Structure 1
Amino acid sequence: MINSMKKDSFKIGIFSLVIFLFYLYLSYCTPLTHDDWTWGIEHGMNRFYDGFKDYNGRYFGNFCELIITRIDWFRILIMGVFGAAIVVLPLLIVKTTKLTIAFLSLLLMLSVSSDMFSSTFAWAAGFANYNTATICILVYLLIVKNIFYEKRPSYSMWLIIFAIPLGIGSQLFVEHATIYNIFTGSFVIIYSFMKFRKIFYFHVTYLISAFIGAIIMFSNGAYVRIFTGADNYRTIDTDMGFFEKIYSIFSSNMYKYLIMNNIFLNFVLAMFCIFLLVKIGTNLVTWKIWVKNIFMVILLIYPFYQPIVVDRMQLSIFSDVAKNSEFEAWLSLLFYLTILFTIILFFKKSSLKVELSFYLISAVFVASPLFFVTPFGSRCFIISYVFFVLFILRLFVYLVDEKIIDLKPLTIPIVTLALCLLVAYSIIFTQIKISDNDRMNSIYKQVSDGKKVVTVKPLKNNKFLWHSELIIPSGQADNFKIYFNLPKDIELKNAPE
């Protein structure tokens, strides 16, 4: 038994190394885009010298962006490490050394929409804020996961000391993560006290530190400007009522980012919940049998709605776009609630029920501040996506441990799909690297030839990059010239794709 566990741990170690090298290669192939060029020149340093006054309170995220746009090897290294960490940390949190489950974690993280991938991992500015915030949350969950065990947790003095930089630092990346960390820190203290009748120093130290970090972030003058309507980019709509605002935002586009666009993730969520209902939902009272059957119908229908009804058949249930969005939003909410109440109503193991419900509720709660601040994009939902992945992996571990699912028949399909995506991403970003080199060589040649109008070629596979095409004319294009030491008097022109 011990030898088997050591062997599995060794395999996970090799897996982690391979995934690190994979993300390291992707980061090597990923060019800077959009406002990365601004951060990489004097304009970015001016923000730093000004203390990011009235810019935002993402102090650690901004500082990370300043570094990674200036030091290429550090950007490649840190993006490789954090890319692998988002895959591996959930495995540590759910306590598994099963290689098949590790490949499922990789498969799920590579199955994010191209929009989410391009605005998080493949965009230095997005990575510096959103991926880092995600890692901080995962590190905290890794430490406090023991509150869901039967044995009373214990924390070393070093961990209690570590809670201070972790709590403060976690708050200085993105605003909705800052608010979530206060929520989860409070939940951990309350739940631990109810379960163990004890308040732990680590939990309290983290929460106090998180409050300090939140104060540091939101003391930035940018948030006063947002609340007063003086900010030209981020706004809070005060014309609507509280619930009207929530309904309007969720039914217009939030449901897509949070749930509907996660096509493969939704399929896996539905499949595991169906397994749960079929295997555990036996000897039920009449009303639960009806609920179980209704849940199974919803779980079978929803995952196929987006890829088949919308994408393949291009069918709209309603001709009016707004009504159709409302229908999809309600359908998405119904799917989410079905998963949540599958756990609440049919899962019998109390501690695991709380843990699984916590991941599901966290996926929504961490996105809830976005109801009130616009605009937002798919990058804002990477943390929610990771919580759904945590839910799947933890449920999968339970289903395997209880022998409800046999792991062996699933190994080849999961590993094959994961490796196919790994190879596909490697090819895609190799082509991006080649086209980026070709673009810059072409620009420098045109400049050396004395041309005053320089054509900028588009990058290949640019849907996996965040706004890689220049906006001309704009400050972005001017900063592009400064970053790459191009003559100021040349005129840039985008080549047709």
Structure 2
Amino acid sequence: MKTIQLHKTTLILIAILLFYTFMGILLPLMHDDLQWFSNYNTDILKVGFASLNGRYIGNIFEIIAVHVSWLRWLSYGLISMGIIWMIMHITRCKAWTSYYLLAFSLMLILPSAIYADTYGWFAGFYNYATSTLISLFIIYYCINAIIYKEKQPVSVTVLFYVLCFFGQLFMENVTLFHCIILILAFLYEFTANRTLNYKLLFSFMIATIGTIIMFSNPNYRKILFEGSEYQQVSNNQGIFSKFAEMISTSLPYGVIFSQIIILSMIAALIIYLLLRSDRYVHLTILKRRIIMIGFIILPLYYLLFYNQFLLNKNTDIGLVGFVNVIVCGYFAFSIFVGIYLSINDRKTQITLYSLLIAICVSASTLVIVTPIEPGNFLIVYTIHVIILIILLKEFRKYKSINVNFIKGASLVLAVIYLSAFIYVHYEHEKRVQLLKQQIKDHPRQEVYTVESLPFEHYMHHPSPINKNYQEWFNNYEELPKMTKVKYIPFGSDDS
């Protein structure tokens, strides 16, 4: 029976790989992808990325991917499947087929802004998604080392060391995230068990070397002291002002409000487990109400005020930021207390707290990032998925789950996404051919008009946003270099 189950999980992983590989085929190159395809990559390689950033591995991946199509498609599929695979390892559900489909479905219902910034273009994908996969592996290794005390094969430990080094060369905040997670795991092992875990200490040293290499890039000194139109360490008001704005506005939106659906599911599961917990039932009515209000107030505030009045855009209103912090803090308090009261297994409880701490660490490292992009919260969403699946395992101790519903939902979502991006691919090819025909018919026309693509909010600027990106688009599609194009909304009658 176990062998049959393993065969099923293998088939599901292959199906997920094929799905994401096909999605990679359907996704056109856009925005920075087109820049990397141009001669820009040759110029930047000559100076060793000294004028760009320290994301050496992510940049190299992108350069190779935009020039080798089959490798781009396959790596898109493998990395996406790898994230699902690591979720199963951390949740300890790697032999349960239904949980693979659940994780797959949850990763498909990413908030559209995060999807667009990560899975919706290749430049973002190779930095955000790849670093997320590496972060998950590091979290998995640390949890196994300090909580479950499982001895890992030599090959896994060697891979862990390799990723601790190369994982530092993707995103600045992820670089700090890895260092903090590794030192926290080492300190927990030392304080809780009075033992020195030399593997964790060695991995931290390796990660520190990678961090030094990243931030030794000359451009960071320029960003820090001279400023940059896009990348900065802090805004003009200073690091403390940025930190206050981040705590009151950016993080509540990125960590909580933009992920309200999955957080509501997590809250619902904890509420169910609490109602069946003796420790919760024996609390006073006042204490029980205080905990429950924390779960209820967040979705109510989001539906009635935050979303209704677009408060995520009102960053200058101090009262809004204050209320955001109070509501999100209250919700987080209920989550922490709810886990303590509802989860009886000590190892599961510590695992959940470790994941919540990882979210806090990931969010705190964004203080060095300006602007904070939706893609920065991919790791946060993925950890939310892990927490949800662990809680669902606890839920199944009390009530069975209809597996057919999970299978049906995953199939429907897969068909919807494939259909949508097949349509995007078709419209993209149609748009390019229409543009070439217009140029052929009217070679002296100053500006040509074509439609934007459908579902552009699921991609990262698939229509060029300025002159430079239009020139890179022209270069890739073999159009005259100085062709000017006006992009009108999809479905307009003016094209």
**Length-normalised TM-score, structure 1:** 0.90
> How far 1:334 sits from its partner (Å)?
2.1
CA RMSD of superposed structures (Å): 2.7
> Residue 295 of structure 2 contacts residue 334 of structure 2 at CA under 8 Å; is this kept in 1?
yes
1:145-195 CA distance string (max 9 Å, x none): 323545x43234434433332111110000111101011111222233345
Aligned counterpart, 2:493 = none
Aligned counterpart, 1:430 = 422
**Residue type of the partner of 2:401?**
K
> How far 1:300 sits from its partner (Å)?
3.0
Q: Give the length in aligned residue pairs.
A: 486
> Residue 168 of structure 1 contacts residue 209 of structure 1 at CA under 8 Å; is this kept in 2?
yes
**Residue type of the partner of 2:75?**
I
Aligned counterpart, 1:353 = 349
* Structure 2 counterparts to residues 17-96 of structure 1, below 5 A: 17-96=14-93
Q: Cα distance 1:90–1:34, how it changes in 2: closer, same or farther (>3 A)?
A: same
> Residue 54 of structure 1 contacts residue 221 of structure 1 at CA under 8 Å; is this kept in 2?
yes
Give the one of 329, 332, 341 matched to 1:336. 332
Q: Distance in 1 between matches of 2:352 and 2:156?
A: 25
Give the one of 204, 216, 221 matched to 2:213. 216
SS in 1 for 2:438: helix
SS in 2 for 1:437: helix
> How far 1:307 sits from its partner (Å)?
4.9
Give the one of 444, 454, 457 matched to 1:452. 444
Q: Distance in 2 between matches of 1:320 and 1:215?
A: 34
> How far 1:139 sits from its partner (Å)?
2.0
**Residue type of the partner of 1:478?**
E
> How far 1:470 sits from its partner (Å)?
1.7
Percentage identity across paired residues of the two chains = 25
> Residue 229 of structure 1 contacts residue 235 of structure 1 at CA under 8 Å; is this kept in 2?
no
> Given the alignment of the two structures, is residue 490 of structure 1 paired with residue 486 of structure 2, yes or no?
no
Q: Cα distance 1:491–1:354, how it changes in 2: closer, same or farther (>3 A)?
A: same
SS in 2 for 1:367: helix
Q: Distance in 2 between matches of 1:263 and 1:271?
A: 12
Q: Cα distance 1:277–1:237, how it changes in 2: closer, same or farther (>3 A)?
A: same
**Residue type of the partner of 2:370?**
T
> How far 1:32 sits from its partner (Å)?
1.1
> How far 1:60 sits from its partner (Å)?
0.4
Q: Cα distance 1:442–1:316, how it changes in 2: closer, same or farther (>3 A)?
A: closer
> How far 1:267 sits from its partner (Å)?
1.7
> Residue 458 of structure 1 contacts residue 495 of structure 1 at CA under 8 Å; is this kept in 2?
yes
> Given the alignment of the two structures, is residue 440 of structure 1 paired with residue 432 of structure 2, yes or no?
yes
Tell me which moved more, 18-27 or 199-208. 199-208
SS in 1 for 2:196: coil
Give the one of 122, 126, 129 matched to 1:128. 126
Aligned counterpart, 2:363 = 367
Tell me which moved more, 129-138 or 422-431. 422-431
* Structure 2 counterparts to residues 74-473 of structure 1, below 5 A: 74-96=71-93, 97-147=95-145, 149-150=147-148, 152-237=149-234, 245-282=242-279, 286=283, 289-307=285-303, 311=307, 322=317, 323-344=319-340, 346-400=342-396, 403-404=397-398, 406-409=399-402, 411-453=403-445, 454-472=448-466
1:47-81 CA distance string (max 9 Å, x none): 12210003111000111111111111111111111
Q: Cα distance 1:162–1:81, how it changes in 2: closer, same or farther (>3 A)?
A: closer
> Residue 41 of structure 1 contacts residue 482 of structure 1 at CA under 8 Å; is this kept in 2?
yes
Give the one of 4, 7, 11 matched to 2:4. 7
Q: Distance in 2 between matches of 1:297 and 1:345?
A: 16
Q: Distance in 2 between matches of 1:65 and 1:310?
A: 37
Q: Distance in 2 between matches of 1:471 and 1:283?
A: 54
Q: Cα distance 1:315–1:205, how it changes in 2: closer, same or farther (>3 A)?
A: closer
> How far 1:242 sits from its partner (Å)?
6.3
Tell me which moved more, 119-128 or 272-281. 272-281
> Residue 148 of structure 1 contacts residue 352 of structure 1 at CA under 8 Å; is this kept in 2?
no
Aligned counterpart, 1:478 = 471
SS in 2 for 1:87: helix
SS in 2 for 1:36: helix
* Structure 1, unaligned runs of 5 or more: none
> How far 1:275 sits from its partner (Å)?
1.8
**Residue type of the partner of 1:469?**
S
> Residue 339 of structure 2 contacts residue 349 of structure 2 at CA under 8 Å; is this kept in 1?
yes
**Residue type of the partner of 2:453?**
L
Tell me which moved more, 133-142 or 226-235. 226-235
> Residue 263 of structure 1 contacts residue 307 of structure 1 at CA under 8 Å; is this kept in 2?
no
SS in 2 for 1:275: helix
Tell me which moved more, 276-285 or 88-97. 276-285
SS in 2 for 1:494: strand
**Residue type of the partner of 1:380?**
N
SS in 2 for 1:366: helix
Q: Distance in 2 between matches of 1:481 and 1:329?
A: 46
Q: Distance in 1 between matches of 2:311 and 2:212?
A: 46
1:117-153 CA distance string (max 9 Å, x none): 0110111110010000001112223334323545x43
> Residue 452 of structure 1 contacts residue 489 of structure 1 at CA under 8 Å; is this kept in 2?
no
> Residue 249 of structure 2 contacts residue 315 of structure 2 at CA under 8 Å; is this kept in 1?
no
